[in-house]
Structure 1
Amino acid sequence: MSGRRRVLWLAKGLGRGGAEQLLLNCARHADTDRYEIEVAYVLPHKDALVPALEAAGVRVHCLGGPPGALWPLRLRRLLADRRYDLVHSHMPIPAVAARLAAFGRRAPRLVHTEHNIWERYRTATRWANALTYRRNDAVIAVSHAVAATIGRRRPEGDWVTVVHHGPDLAGAPAGAAARAAARAELGLPQDAVVVGTVGNLTAKKDQATLLAAFERVRRDHPSAALVLIGSGPLEAELKARAGEGVVFAGSRSDVPALLPGLDVFTLSSRQEGLPVALMEAMTSGLPSVVTRVGGMPEVLDDGEQGLLVPPGAPAALAAALGRLAGDAPLRARLGAAAGERARTFDTAGAQQTIEQVYDRVLAR
């Protein structure tokens, strides 16, 4: 392969979700001598990361806007105008559109990153994805658990590559001053045991189970606090369920600065690929209590960097959270081990592996 190749990253939105944050992290480590990266997204209201991408030198295209149903045609026009060598899609609906729009003599190569297990998708999405999936020249899976759900779609050799992305927390605050500042920002007592979670307020993340578990934790640890960072369609319902000691912090752009204010990180998810939030928490040296789903057991060993519990089990989640809430030495040991494990997370290395996939596909 010679010359600089033009690549389009295609996403549903550019909000503050984990998959979107991965795009920004990868953009900061892309080999711009060989690849000219551009990004297109569908949902105009999900644009929180657009300024950061543009600051990283990435040209951004919004495909949405009225009438919204025309965005696939706008994608087709963009492909024709910009003449990309390769389109790298994220999320199934934009990926299906790219597979249908990329045809003709100058059609770009297609790479897709699978962020979730297939069972998560709605039936119509799953069928549309399945019917067009073989058009992908290569697939990247964010965990081995995700890869296991798609490998049967086209099992040839190197078609699926697993890439464990890592967070990009260079320069994030740490230490006692950062802890005090984070707690002051969140309105938390300096001496309370604080459990925190980061994620969209959706059924998939199952914060309802977390709230039920935390209510049990408060019986033995009445001064404990729970912080939910994120927003979503279930926010009003979850706020109505929440008891004492629960703080809804909303969607935040400063999550790395807030993590030092926590003592324990948790995810009550029913489904996951490999959440960026967990890797950020581990990088920040936090012990975690997370459900045994998706790729989380691939980066966190039960009893070593944190504790694993079954999904949808408030009693088990409460027991694990209560165990850490009442044992500061255990929190310190697991947090130190989490920080050590996080040294293996390599954002730059992940982007290099992705570009190796690009090289292989473009050389065919």
Structure 2
Amino acid sequence: MPLTLFCAELAADYTAAGAHTRGTLARLADPHFRVRVVTVWREGPRWVPGALRKIFRLASVVVRGRMIRPRGVLLARWSPFVALVSGRFTRRGLPLVIFVQGNLDDMYDSNPWTRRAPWFTRLALSSIRQATRIVTPSEGLAEWVASVRDDGRDCVTVIPNGADVAQFDAERARAERDGGASTPPHALFFGNMASWQGIDTILDALADPSWPSDLDLHVIGDGQMAPAVRACDDARVTYLGRRPKHEVARAAARAEMTLATRHDVAASATGVSPFKIIESAAAGTPSIVTRVPGQTELASAIGGSLLVPAGDPAALAAAVAQLHGDAGMRDELARAGREGVRAFDWAASADTLSALVREAAGVVPAEAAPVERVA
């Protein structure tokens, strides 16, 4: 069965889009699927200004998406630009499966100008409304999708996000062989540094007297809040910028704890499913997680986390101090996370996604063939 997997976002392995695209490919490992991938895997020349690089990437992936011959099933990570490609498939009666990882407020907060552009919102929603099937990582997002479709939840399936558990577990084993962390004890934040990710709460917690004086903070990622981390004059802060996934796995396995501090804002209201919670558990590292929809349920389902209120630096600092001071608690949470995360390996949901794609296509899979990347 021929499939086309389309991602308009940069799918470098340090991005959420990259993790999701690679994970989706792992879930589509059914030998009866012939998968071609249309995305951009690398950022582009450093000498080109960032805004121009992004415009060029978007233009190139949309043009290539429009040039390919429609066949089989189109699977796409939701973005406003999916509609510029998906119509070529749906007008021919071919099925469209959309992966919705966020709501409109994600788009509005990341690019404020879109809030003042009704046509852009209509473009963003059009692919959701024309999709044959929708996949979301949380119940809250499933309900939001249902609210913008005429058929409600009928065509929406919840499949949680996942992780390459083996990659993170290997780094955990390596860290244990090395005798533990190779750096002074530290907490770690990694991932997208958008304004709603709670970086400000972490920095305020670091300044709280409850934060242990001998516990450093390492930050991996890039985004809106990166300048605030760079500007922090606390000697305990180490900003590492963007790092490829294998370095993230190594850092997570050597941290004393990780922090998932998303704010309880409109972009979080419909439920989020952060990769960092799953990956921390796979690395055998306990996490401190703020209570927001989706994130709370994910952390509870996996285990291995302490939950704190969102946007509360004092509560975060107190939880950090509690975990730092109790090695037994850290070990107990680490064991619980390693056990619970097995169900969140990408491959664990492969049968569910395969069945959904077959149902959308309404045909019996054809011969096997390898994945083809259209880079």
SS at match of 1:11: strand
SS at match of 2:272: coil
Q: Could you tell me the TM-score, scaled by structure 1's length?
A: 0.81
Determine if the alignment matches structure 1 residue 86 to structure 2 residue 73: yes
Matched residue, 1:109 = 95
1:170 Cα deviation after fit? 1.5
For 1:252-285, what per-residue CA distance to the aligned partner results, in whole angstroms no more than 9, with x for missing partners? 2222222221111111112362111110101222
| Maintained 8 Å contact 2:71/2:89 | no
* SS at 2:240 equivalent: strand
The alignment status of 1:248 with 2:233, answered yes or no, reads no
Structure 1 spans left out of the alignment, 5+ residues: 48-62
Identity of aligned residues (%): 23
Shift of residue 132 of structure 1? 4.2
Structure 1 pair 261–248 and aligned structure 2 pair: CA distance change class (3 A): same
Structure 1 segment 1-364 matched on structure 2, within 5 A: 4-15=1-12, 16-41=14-39, 45=43, 66=56, 69=59, 72-78=62-68, 80=69, 83-105=70-92, 108-122=94-108, 123=115, 124=117, 125-154=120-149, 155-156=151-152, 158-171=154-167, 172-175=170-173, 177-178=175-176, 180=178, 183-184=181-182, 188-189=183-184, 192=185, 194-216=186-208, 221-253=212-244, 254=246, 255-270=248-263, 271=268, 273-301=272-300, 305-363=304-362
Q: Secondary structure at the match of 1:228?
A: strand
Q: 1:90 Cα shift?
A: 0.8
Change (3 A) 1:303 1:321: farther
Structure 2 Cα separation of the partners of residues 256 and 331 of structure 1:
18
Number of the residue aligned with 2:369: none
Give the counterpart letter for 1:164 in structure 2.
P
1:101 deviates by 4.1
Conserved in 2, the CA contact under 8 Å of 1:11 and 1:41? yes
Please tell me whether the aligned partners of residues 180 and 254 of structure 2 are also in contact (alpha carbons under 8 angstroms). Answer: yes
What SS does the corresponding residue of 2:196 show, helix, strand or coil? coil
- What CA distance in whole angstroms lies between the structure 2 residues aligned with 1:141 and 1:71? 23
Question: 2 CA distance for matches of 1:349 and 1:303?
Answer: 14
CA RMSD of the aligned region, Å? 3.0
Aligned residues: 335
Q: Distance in 2 between matches of 1:127 and 1:109?
A: 21
Instruction: In structure 2, list runs of 5 or more residues that go unmatched.
Output: 46-52, 109-114, 364-375
C-alpha distance in structure 2 between counterparts of 1:68 and 1:24, whole Å: 19
Report the Cα distance in structure 2 between the residues aligned to 1:238 and 1:307, rounded to whole angstroms.
Answer: 24
Contact 2:187/2:218 (8 A) holds in 1: yes
The letter for the 1-side match of 2:141 is: V
Q: Deviations over 1:20-73 (max 9, x none)?
A: 2122133234335211112212686279xxxxxxxxxxxxxxx98759657544
Counterpart in the other structure of 2:49: none
| Structure with greater proportional helix content | 2
Q: Does structure 1 conserve the Cα–Cα contact (< 8 Å) formed by 2:74 and 2:86? A: no
Secondary structure of the equivalent of 1:33? Answer: coil
